Structure 1
Amino acid sequence: MTITDLDLTPGSSADGAAVHPLSSLSSTEFERIRDLVTAWPDFTATTRFAYVGLEEPHKAEVLAWQAGDGALPDRRARVMLLDMATGRSTDSLLSITTGEQLSTLELDGSHGQLPVLIEEFEAVGEIASADAGWVAALAARGLTVDEVVCVPLSAGFYDFEEEKGRRILRVLAFRQDYPEDHPWAHPVDGLSAYVDASARIVTRLIDAAPLAIPATSGNFDDPALQGEPLSTLKPIVITQPEGPSFTVDGEFVSWANWNFQVGFDVREGLVLRQLSFDDKGVARPVIYRASINEMLVPYGDPSPVRFWQNYFDTGEYLFGRFTNSLELGCDCVGEIHYFDATMADELGNPTVIQNGICMHEEDFGTLWKHSDMFTGSNETRRSRRLVISFFTTVGNYDYGFYWYLYLDGTIECEAKLTGILFTSSYPGLDENGADYPYASEVAPGLGGPYHQHLFSARLDMTVDGIANAVEEVDAVRVPIGPGNEHGNAFTKRITRIASEKESGRLADASVGRAWHVINTSATNAMGRPTGYVLLPQQSPVLLADPSSSIAKRAEFATKALFVTQYDPAEKYAAGDFVHQNPGGDGITAYIAGDRPLDGEDVVLWHTFGPTHFPRPEDWPVMPTDYAKFTLKPYGFFDRNPALNVPASAGSGSHAGAGASDAAGGHCAHEGAGAAHAGHGGHGAGVSLSGPELLEGGHAGHAPHGA
C-alpha cells in the first residue's frame, strides 16, 4: 500500500468511516505512518522506529466534540526514531490524516534517550563476546562465551564520563549448561560489562571477586523437578449458558451500568478510557483515562556489579510490546472476549498480538446480605465483576494487570507478579557469622536480591465532570476530656490538597489514610460533594536513599500519591525519555509550577507495589504475588447502587451443580423466621470461578531481568 492509496479526511479511516479520537491505532494507520516517515529525507536504512503511538487530542477537544460543540479532532501519531549507525534520536508528531510532519525534536541525551530497542538487546551478546577482557574474565572462571548467555540491562545514570552521549547497556552473565537449561539458576557473579550499543564496544569491565556459580537446577518445566503430579484436583467448569452480560462494539464496552473504551499502547499496554456509570439513565463520568504509565524495579544489592540495577520496564523497555497472546483455559477461564493488541515493530510494520487483552465476568461472592431478626427478611445478592486484563513478559518476570469493575461502582486495579527471580550467587555467612544483608538464599548457593516493584497508575479523573479536588482523610483519636468523658470518641481529619507541590503524600495505615476525589460543583441528596475514594494498599515506597540517582530519576516512587492539573503533555511519571535520564523530569517537572488543584481538572499519580524479600518458595518459579488499589464511590450515589441487581434462583444442592448460577443476582426467602443465632436454611447459589492459570504463549521476551 502506498500513501496515495489512502484518502483520509481528518478523523476518518481508510474507508471514510469516522474514527473515534481515542481509538487505538489500526494496522492501516500504522502502515500509513510507516510510509510517511520512511519518505522523510533524513530517514536512512539504519533508522529504526523506537516508538509509534496515538497522540491523543486534548481532553477539552474530545469532550467538546462529544457534546456537539466542536469539530472531530485530527488523528495524530507520535513517532520516535533511532539511527542505529549514528545514534541520532528524534521525537516527531505527524498528522495521519493530512500526512503533515507537525514537529520534530532531536534529542541530545541530556534529558534521557529513546527506549532500548530489541535490536540493541540482541546485539549485546555479540559485542561482549568480541571483547578480549570479557573473554579473559570468563576464562578465569573456567567458562567460554559459548557456555554463557548475556543479559542486557538498562544503564541508569551515574554520570560516568565515558558514557556521556552514548547509548549504554550493562551486561550480566549466566551459565547455560544445555539449550533447555534455565540459566537463571547459574549466575556468573562478580562480572559485568558496560556496552555502547551504537559503537558496539565495551566501555568498562567490572571484574570483582569471583563467586561460586550455583549448581542448583532452575528447570521448573522439568517433570523430574516438578515431582509426582497432584492427582486429587477435580475439574472446575465455568459456563454462562446465555452468553456474557457485556456487549462489545469495536473497543467500546457496556456491562451492567458501566460503559468504557478498551485501548492499547505499546508503552503502557492496556489503557481504559472514559469510564462512566449509568445512574438511572444518566451516564456519569468517573475516569477519563487509566493506565499503568510506569513500572520501576529497584534492587537493593550495593555490590560492585549490581548497584545500578534499577529498571523502568515501561519507559525504558516499552513493556506493552512483550504482551502475551492469551490462551483460553490457561490465562483466561470462562466466557471470554479477546481484543488484539496492534503495534508497530522497529521497521514500522504493523504487528498484531492475537488475544492480547482478555475480558470476562467472574462471580465474586456476596454483594450484599441481611437476615433480619425483626421482619424475618432474608435477602442475599450475589456479586460479580468484569475483568479486563493483559500479561506481559519482561525478561525473567511476568506481570499481569487486571482492572476490575464491580456492580456497586467500585473500580480496582490489581498487578499479578510471577515468573523467575533475577538471581545472584549467595555469598554465605561473613567472618562474623552474619547472613548477607541484601539477598535471600533461595536455593543452595543461589541468592535472590532484595528488590521492589513500584507501579505508577495514572488516573485522569472526571468525577461527575472536570471540576475536581482531592482531600486527604485520616482517622483521628479524640483525647478524653469535656464532651468525650469516656474516651471512646474518634473522628476524621480532612485536608484539602490545595496545590501540586503539597500533593506528594504517603499512605499511613495507622490512620487509615485515604484520598477522596470530589466534584466541587455537584452534590448528592445530602447536599455534599459527590466523589470517589482512592484506598491505597499499605506498602513501602522507594527505599533508596533520597540523594541517590534512582530517587532523582523516580521522584514519583518516593510518595504514594501526587496530584497534578491535567496537561496532555504530561503522560509519564518518570518523563518521556527515561533511558539514561539524569533526573528532574516527570513528576519533578510537572509539580514545579505548583498549579492550584481546587476545582480543577486533576490527574492522580498513584504508586503501589510490593517490596520483595525472596523466599525459597519463590524458586524456581514464583507463585503469583499481588498488589492493588481500590477506587470506591463515596457519596457519588445517594444510596446503595446495587439494590437493583436482579433475583436469581437459589440452589440448595452442591452435588452435580457443575457450573455457576449464571444470573448472579440474589436469593430471597420469605418468612425465614425472626431472631436466630446463625444463618440457617438460606440457599446461596453455587458459583465456581477459579483463579486464572498462569501459563500459555507470549509474544516475546525482552532479554533483561526486572
Structure 2
Amino acid sequence: MPSPHPLDRLTADEIVAARTLLTEHGLAGPDIRFPYLALEEPAKDVVLAHKPGDPVDRRVRAILLDVRTGASRDVVASLTRATIDRDTALDPARDGQPPIMLEEFMAVDEIVKADPGWRAAVERRGITDLDLVRPCPLSAGEFGIKGETGRRLLRALSFVANRPDDHCWAHPIDGLVAYVDLIEKRVVQLIDHADLPIPAEEGNFDQPGPLRQTLKPISITQPEGPSFAVHGDEVTWEGWRFRIGFDAREGLTLHQISINDRPVIYRASVAEMVVPYADPSPVRFWQNYFDAGEYLLGQQANELRLGCDCLGEIHYFDAVLADGEGNPRGIPSAICMHEEDFGVLWKHTDIFTEARETRRQRRLVISFFVTVGNYDYGFYWYLYLDGTIQLEVKATGVVFTSSYIPGSPYATQLAPGLGAPFHQHLFSARLDMMVDGLANAVDEVDLVRVPVSPSNPYGNAFSRSISRIGRESDGARVADASVGRVWQISSAERANRLGDPTAYTLYPTQSPLLAADDSASISRRAAFATRALWITRYDPAERYAAGDLVNQHAGGAGLPSYVAADRDLDGRDVVLWHTFGLTHYPRPEDWPVMPVDTCGFTLKPAGFFDRNPTLDVPESTADHCVDSRARTSHCH
C-alpha cells in the first residue's frame, strides 16, 4: 500500500484506530463523547518538504466531552506512533464549551417537554397535543447571565405543527424560551414573556399545488468526458492542481492550489460563520449562531443528488467523519465537482484587420451543501481558465420565524401574523496565501481622485494609492466601495517580465460588517466580523477566526488574540482572513422557502502572468448551440 500524503483525509479505519487508541489510554469510555475528531494537519514546512514515499506521521485532534460531569479535554494523538502527544483539560468558563452534538439536539425535545412550567405555558396558549410541538435547540451564547458560566447550555424556542407533515416554522410559539442544562438534563430557567398569537396560515413548500408545465428540459453533456483528472484527493484541470480536504468543522477545504506548477494558495477554507439576529426582546436577544464553531459545518453536510444539486459530468467525493461516539460515519457524495460553461471569456471584432474571434470561459466547480437547522448553505469554489479563483456562498432554506408585532423595527411580516427577524450571515474565509512562494506582501490599493490643477486642467485625471500593510496591528481593514478598495498579495521573490512582483488581487465583498453595538457580547465573540480583512503571520495553531472553542466562549479569542502579537508581515508567510456575507431583511418572497441569495469574493491574477493566459483556448465546437429560427447549429 503506498505511503499516504500528509494531507490525505482520514479514513474510516483511521477513525476506528483513533477511538481505540484513546480508549487504551483511558481517555474514552462509556460517558465520553467526541464532539470533534479530525486530522491534525502537519505544519506547512513539513507538507512542503514531503516527497512521495516519505514516511508520514498521521495524527488526529479530538475534543472529548464527559456527558456525565461536563468535563472536556483537547487531545492530539499519533496513530503512527500510538502515542498521546497532547492532553489538555479544558476550563469551560475560560476556554468555552465543545461543539454541540446531534444527540444533544435530540435530547432537548424530551428535556423541555418534561418541564412542568414549560408544559403549563404551552397549554395556556391553547396547545394540547405536545407531540406536535417542536422545541428548537439553539446555541446559548455567553452574556454574563448569573449562574450560566461554566454550564453546558442550549436555549429552546418552540414551534407547533398542525399535523405531522405540516412544517412547524409557520407557527412559532413566541414569547416563551427554555434554558436547558445539557449535563443536568433539565430546564434551569423559563422565560414566559408574552402570550403572542400563534400564526395560523400554513407554509408548506413541499405541497405547492399544481406545478408549471412550460419549462423545457436543458441537457448538459460532455460526450468525451470531463477535462479534469482525479488521483485520490488530488485534482488536475487546465493547469490547476490542488488537493481536496474535508473537515468536521470547516467542511470542504482546498489545499496546495497551484496553476502551471506555480503556487497560489496553500490552504483555503471557510474558517467561521456567524448569524446574529436583531430582535432585542427578552426571549430573542441571545440569537447569535456560529454555524462552524458551534454546529460544525462538515457534520451538517448533505448527501448530494445528481440532477438536483449538480448538473453535468459529475465527480463525487464521499466524506468520512467521526460521530459523537467516535465511530466512522460516511456521507456519500458529500462533495460535487464538475465543469461549467461560463459565457464569453474574451471577444473582439477588429475594424482594421476584420479579425473576429470569440472564446468561451469555463470554470471548475467544487462544492458542498449543509443544512444547519432552518437554513441551507451551498459553498462553491470556482477555478477559471484565466487564473481567477472565486468563492460563492448560496443561502437558502427557511427563514427563522417569529410572531409579527405590527410596526416592529426588527422584523418583516412574511404572512398574516408571521414575522422574520432581521439578521446577518457573516463568513470568514481563511486564505493561507502562497503567491509564487512563502514570502508574500500585502498592499491596500485605493482609487485616488486628482483635483484640477495646471497638470490636470480638465479634471479628468485619477490615479491610485498603494499602501504596504507592514504589521499585524495595521492588518485589520475595512472595505470601501467609494474608492474601489482591493488588496494585492504579491511575491517578495519573483517578478514578471516587466519587472513587477507577481501578484493576486483580492476583490472584497461590499456589504455591511457586524451590525451589533461595539459593547455587545456578539461583538466580542465574533470580532472577526467587525473588519473586512485581517492579515496574520502563518502559525499552524491559528486555524479559526473566532478561536478554537466558540460555543459559550466569552469572546476575545481568534483574530484579536492572533494580531496582538503584532508580527511583521512584509515579505513574510501571510494568511488573509476575509469577512463577507449578507444582511438579510426577509421579504414575503422568501417564504415559505427562500430563493438562493449569494455572497462571496474573487481573487484575480495581477501581473502573475506575463499576458493573457487564455490565448491558447480553442474555439468552441459545441454541437448543441441551436438557432431557434433555423433549428440548425451555428456555433463554431
**1:24 and 2:9 matched:** yes
Q: Is the 8 A contact 1:185 1:423 kept in 2?
A: yes
Instruction: Write the mapping of 1:200-215 to structure 2, written as runs, cut at 5 A.
Output: 200-215=185-200
| Residues 612 and 294 of structure 1, relative CA distance in 2, 3 Å threshold | same
**1:625 and 2:597 matched:** yes
2:31 to 46, 60, 66: 46
Q: Which amino acid aligns with 2:592?
A: P
Deviation at 1:132, TM superposition (A): 1.4
CA distance, structure 2, for counterparts of residue 658 and residue 545 of structure 1: 60
Q: Is the 8 A contact 1:475 1:490 kept in 2?
A: yes
**1:180 and 2:158 matched:** no
**1:576 and 2:559 matched:** no
Higher RCO, 1 or 2 (CA under 8 Å, sep at least 6)?
1
| 1:654 corresponds to | 627
Q: Is the 8 A contact 1:90 1:107 kept in 2?
A: yes
CA distance, structure 2, for counterparts of residue 654 and residue 404 of structure 1: 30
**1:340 and 2:300 matched:** no
CA distance, structure 1, for counterparts of residue 316 and residue 630 of structure 2: 28
Deviation at 1:349, TM superposition (A): 1.0
Q: Is the 8 A contact 2:111 2:180 kept in 1?
A: yes
1:542-573 Cα distance to aligned partner (Å, 9 max, x none): 00001110000111000110000000000000
CA distance, structure 1, for counterparts of residue 79 and residue 433 of structure 2: 28
Describe the SS at the equivalent of 1:124.
Answer: helix
CA distance, structure 2, for counterparts of residue 113 and residue 338 of structure 1: 34
1:664-696 Cα distance to aligned partner (Å, 9 max, x none): xxxxxxxxxxxxxxxxxxx545xxxxxxxxxxx
| 1:667 corresponds to | none
| 1:263 corresponds to | 245
Q: Is the 8 A contact 2:440 2:570 kept in 1?
A: yes
CA distance, structure 2, for counterparts of residue 72 and residue 258 of structure 1: 26
Deviation at 1:51, TM superposition (A): 0.6
| 1:677 corresponds to | none
Q: Which amino acid aligns with 2:108?
A: V
Q: Is the 8 A contact 1:380 1:684 kept in 2?
A: no
1:604-631 Cα distance to aligned partner (Å, 9 max, x none): 1001111000000000000011101000
| Residues 384 and 658 of structure 1, relative CA distance in 2, 3 Å threshold | farther
| 2:121 corresponds to | 137
Instruction: Write the mapping of 1:616-695 to structure 2, written as runs, cut at 5 A.
Output: 616-649=588-621, 653-655=626-628, 684=635
Deviation at 1:259, TM superposition (A): 0.5
Describe the SS at the equivalent of 2:50.
Answer: helix
| 1:592 corresponds to | 564
Describe the SS at the equivalent of 1:485.
Answer: coil
CA distance, structure 1, for counterparts of residue 621 and residue 7 of structure 2: 41
Q: Which amino acid aligns with 2:86?
A: S
Q: Is the 8 A contact 2:263 2:434 kept in 1?
A: yes
Instruction: Write the mapping of 1:355-394 to structure 2, written as runs, cut at 5 A.
Output: 355-394=333-372
| 2:481 corresponds to | 509
Deviation at 1:148, TM superposition (A): 1.1
Q: Which amino acid aligns with 2:606?
A: Y
Q: Is the 8 A contact 2:160 2:172 kept in 1?
A: yes
Deviation at 1:650, TM superposition (A): 6.9
1:87 to 51, 65, 70: 70
Unaligned runs of 5+ in 2: none
Deviation at 1:646, TM superposition (A): 2.0
Q: Which amino acid aligns with 1:245?
A: S
Describe the SS at the equivalent of 1:295.
Answer: strand
Q: Which amino acid aligns with 1:391?
A: F
Describe the SS at the equivalent of 1:163.
Answer: coil
Counting aligned pairs with the same residue, the percent is 59
Deviation at 1:131, TM superposition (A): 1.3
Q: Once structures 1 and 2 are overlaid, which stretch shifts more, 645-654 or 491-500?
A: 645-654
Q: Is the 8 A contact 1:237 1:658 kept in 2?
A: no
Describe the SS at the equivalent of 2:143.
Answer: coil
1:259-291 Cα distance to aligned partner (Å, 9 max, x none): 11111111111010001001xxxx100000001
1:151-200 Cα distance to aligned partner (Å, 9 max, x none): 01000001112112210100100011111010000000000011110011
Q: Is the 8 A contact 2:620 2:635 kept in 1?
A: no
Q: Is the 8 A contact 2:3 2:54 kept in 1?
A: no
Deviation at 1:228, TM superposition (A): 2.6
Describe the SS at the equivalent of 1:381.
Answer: strand
| 2:95 corresponds to | 111
CA distance, structure 1, for counterparts of residue 622 and residue 197 of structure 2: 62
Q: TM-score, normalised by structure 1?
A: 0.88
Describe the SS at the equivalent of 1:177.
Answer: coil
| 2:408 corresponds to | 436
| Residues 172 and 462 of structure 1, relative CA distance in 2, 3 Å threshold | same
Q: Is the 8 A contact 1:162 1:203 kept in 2?
A: no
CA distance, structure 1, for counterparts of residue 38 and residue 630 of structure 2: 48
Deviation at 1:227, TM superposition (A): 3.5
Q: Is the 8 A contact 1:416 1:626 kept in 2?
A: yes
| Residues 656 and 84 of structure 1, relative CA distance in 2, 3 Å threshold | farther
CA distance, structure 1, for counterparts of residue 397 and residue 631 of structure 2: 32
**1:120 and 2:139 matched:** no
Between Structure 1 and Structure 2, how many residues are aligned?
A: 633
1:351-404 Cα distance to aligned partner (Å, 9 max, x none): 111100000000011001100000111001111100000000111111000000
| 2:276 corresponds to | 298
Q: CA RMSD in A?
A: 1.6
| 1:275 corresponds to | 257
| Residues 519 and 213 of structure 1, relative CA distance in 2, 3 Å threshold | same
| Residues 205 and 344 of structure 1, relative CA distance in 2, 3 Å threshold | same
CA distance, structure 2, for counterparts of residue 165 and residue 31 of structure 1: 31
Describe the SS at the equivalent of 1:476.
Answer: strand
CA distance, structure 1, for counterparts of residue 347 and residue 27 of structure 2: 67
Unaligned runs of 5+ in 1: 1-14, 429-434, 662-682, 686-706
